[in-house]
Structure 1
Amino acid sequence: MSPDLPPVVPSVTAELVAALSPRLRKRLDAGVTKLLARPVTRDGDSVRIAVDDDTDVVLHAPGGTVTGADAIHCGCLLAPDCLHRAAAASAAPVADDPPADAPAGTTPTGDEPTAAPETEPADGTAQTDGTGPADGTAPAGIETATDVQRVAARAVFDAAGAVLEAGADGAGAVLQAELLHAAHTARLAGLPRASAAAVSVVTGVRAAR
Structure 2
Amino acid sequence: MGLSIHLDTFPILETERLILRQLAAADAQDAFLVLSDEENMRYYDPAPMTRLEQAEKSIERHRRRFAEQEALRWGIVLKEENNIIGNCGYSWDTDNHYAVLSYILSKHFWKKGIMTEALTAIIQFGFEHIHLHRIEAEVAYPNLASARLLEKLGFQEEGRLRDRQYVDNQFVDERIFALLNPNAVDN
TM more than 0.5: no
Higher relative contact order (CA 8 A, sep 6+): 1
Pick the structure with greater CA Rg: 1
Q: Which one has a larger percent strand, Structure 1 or Structure 2?
A: 2
**TM-score where L is the length of structure 1:** 0.28
**TM-score where L is the length of structure 2:** 0.31
